Amino acid sequence: MNRILPAYPLWIMDPMFSVWSKSEMLNASDTMFWTGQIRRTYGFVRYNGTTYCFLGRRDDAVSLEQTDLEVFAFSTRYTFECEEFILKVDFLSPLLLTDIRLMSRPVCYTAYSIEPKNAKPDDLSIALALSEEYCYNKERASVIGGVLPCKGFEAAYFTRYRNCVLSETDDTVAPDWGSTYLAGEESFFVTEVALNRYTSEGVAQYIRKETEYNYLLSINRSLNGIFMTAFDDYVSIFYFGEWLKGFYFKDGSTIIDAMEEAALDYKDVSRRCTEFDVQLKNDCRRIGEGYYLLACAALRQSIGAHKLVQNRKGELLFLSKECNSNGCIGTADISYPSMPLYLLYNPELVNAMLVGIFEFARMPVWPFEFAPHDIGTYPWCCGQQYGVSKINDKYGCGLNWIGGKPNTKQMLYLRPAGCKVYNIEEQMPVEECGNMLIMTAAGMVAGGSIKLAEKNFDLLASWVQYLEKYGFKPKSQLCTDDFSGHLANNVNLAIKALVGIESFSVICGKLKKERMAAQYREKAKKFAAALKREVGKDIWPLAYEKEDTYSLKYNILFDKLFGFHLIDQEICERETNYYIEKQEYFGTPLDNRASYTKSDWILWVATLTDEQEKTEVLYKPVLRYLAETPSRLPFGDWYYADRGDIVEFYNRAVQGGVFAPLLRQSGKMQVK
């Protein structure tokens, strides 16, 4: 079986429910949570007295031979075969961005078909089983559960006995709360002895036995059908004093409503997902060979690294988790690279990424004239966690730090003005001002509402003024790519400041502030002219006056997409040629200081050229990375360009940036 991805998405809902397979053969390894933690899941076919295993590793069943594996936008499909039948299994996560109620409905499907090679068998059943590991993070805990009769199916469920809602705020963790459901024609909450009896005798029976592992077991007896997995987290997000349920539940719907609705509309949902997939494949063909696989690898992961909720003001909040980087929630420089996907299919979700940053920036505790980095640590929006001071006095009490680790549930947003909560040296002023301005403009151009910009125009005006003052030659400060240390006079950061100023002119134009729009268009032109004079006519360096250096100048992208072209196409082509020249086996390094790269930025810079062949040359090493990296984890974005192993950062929302070439192709970002 040829390898396609480092890990294969099975059931993807949000950062708190995300199940993957780390091998090509579905029955060759245990399934895992996005963190890499084992979440044992089994799939069986009982056929004429023999039990076959198609999902997970089991010694008490015959391993069914897998003959095919395909990855699509919303599904991962497997084919198995033996002498008696052919089995097809489709793991479907219907994360359609154009239907946010469906996208936020926490139910995934496992559809199957069994094709007998001879007569229909006398003894036939197909089953899924989930282990109690779904109920807790790392340490085993007491688990309770049961079975609910529903319309046309039964749903078994289990949950941790001591349910600690929103208790986990560390980064690579699974939840210690919520109920997991498995639904089929018959369902059971049982212990291991009952599961073993099914695999050995085909008997479905309710058996409980103390100390044994608990399982959910669902069994169907038809040749074609579906199972459903669902997760009810009870409460999804703490948002500045509000306890928010997932968007699907905002009007009182229950998890039973979600499953019964999903059972009824499976055929329609499957059809809509297939239609999207067909269109995506056609669009990707125009980008180049293999690009469709990159899009499929990125789509479910990026959406599933977010949670959609709505606050009491009626505002949508599409909140990312910084998976495997620091766990922050609603991070501006995570949203920025991810936005091509959302600009293409639902620009209101880009606005929904920004609401929390705007709100926190108005709170007295935030003392700066630049934009914040984040609004807390997932799933707690309680104030920026990045760059918190370690003041140890009666007001700070070691502020937010316990044993060298951040205490991520401190209500920092409640602190009054004048509190020295944040260390200025650890902020990202130019980075985040540019991000917020560019995202706000991009959402409006792509067709999103202008209300968010109207409401927060004063903040946007303040942030663009910051870029005017400090963006041309940024002082030594953090930026999103400072893996090799702080850097003064960062040219790519200066480009972001330029595009931020352009973006403010776009915002003004959309808000009918024509005089101000014209003023900022002129300021952007002057900034661009000065920038080009400063860096010269050769390859643009990593920083001003640093000869024989380079970096991926991905921040040029929205200058190009908006149609301003203040950075000439000749410069873009020259830069692109140099990135190709510097390319390693798995991609072009981020800059000359180290051999690692970022997959999202590779796809951004691959969009700068007008020559399709160059675009393909730039992104194809990322395909090689997917097929060959030794890191069998969800699509990592920070990895060694020469070796292919992940440094850190996997399962992150930033892979929405893979859709940058499609966004350019759509033409929807041209400023009218």
Q: Are residues 554 and 407 in the same domain?
A: yes
- Residue 484: the pLDDT is 81
Examine residue 354 and state whether it is found in any structural domain, yes or no. Answer: yes
Q: Are residues 443 and 548 in the same domain?
A: yes
- Residue 376: the pLDDT is 95
Examine residue 271 and state whether it is found in any structural domain, yes or no. Answer: no
pTM above 0.85, yes or no: yes
What is each CA distance from 256 to 13, 144, 265, 650, in whole angstroms?
17, 18, 14, 32
What is each CA distance from 117 to 81, 86, 114, 221, in whole angstroms?
10, 7, 10, 17
Q: Are residues 331 and 212 in the same domain?
A: no
Examine residue 263 and state whether it is found in any structural domain, yes or no. Answer: no
Mean pLDDT, to the nearest integer, of 92-116? 98
Q: Are residues 220 and 343 in the same domain?
A: no
Segment 510-541, tens digit of pLDDT: 999 999 999 999 999 999 999 999 998 899 99
Tokens of 270: 């499957």
Cα–Cα distance measured from residue 105 to residue 468, given in angstroms and rounded to the nearest whole number: 44
Residue ranges of E strands in 588-634: 596-598
Examine residue 304 and state whether it is found in any structural domain, yes or no. Answer: no
Cα–Cα distance measured from residue 21 to residue 29, given in angstroms and rounded to the nearest whole number: 7
Average pLDDT over the chain, rounded to an integer: 95
What is each CA distance from 156 to 40, 136, 144, 214, in whole angstroms?
16, 17, 11, 12
Examine residue 300 and state whether it is found in any structural domain, yes or no. Answer: no
Say if CB 347 and CB 355 are below 8 A apart. Answer: no
Examine residue 645 and state whether it is found in any structural domain, yes or no. Answer: yes
Q: Are residues 39 and 170 in the same domain?
A: yes
Examine residue 615 and state whether it is found in any structural domain, yes or no. Answer: yes
Q: Write out the residue range of the structural domain in which residue 631 sits.
A: 321-666
Residue 405 confidence (pLDDT) above 70: no
Residue 238 confidence (pLDDT) above 90: yes
Q: Are residues 333 and 462 in the same domain?
A: yes
Residues in the chain: 672
Examine residue 428 and state whether it is found in any structural domain, yes or no. Answer: yes
Q: Are residues 34 and 148 in the same domain?
A: yes
Last residue of one domain, picked from the residues 220, 235, 250: 235
Looking up residue 326, the CATH number of its domain turns out to be 1.50.10.10
Last residue of one domain, picked from the residues 235, 250, 267: 235
Last residue of one domain, picked from the residues 235, 265, 298: 235
- Residue 402: the pLDDT is 63
Number of folded domains that form the chain: 2
Q: Are residues 507 and 621 in the same domain?
A: yes
Q: Are residues 222 and 343 in the same domain?
A: no
Mean pLDDT, to the nearest integer, of 406-423? 87
Count Cβ atoms within 10 A of the Cβ of residue 451 and give its class: 0-12 exposed, 13-18 middle, 19 or more buried. Answer: exposed
Residue 666 confidence (pLDDT) above 90: yes
Looking up residue 66, the CATH number of its domain turns out to be 2.70.98.10
Contacts of 87 (CB under 8 A, 6+ apart): 45, 54, 64, 79, 80, 81, 112, 113, 114, 115, 126
- Residue 450: the pLDDT is 97
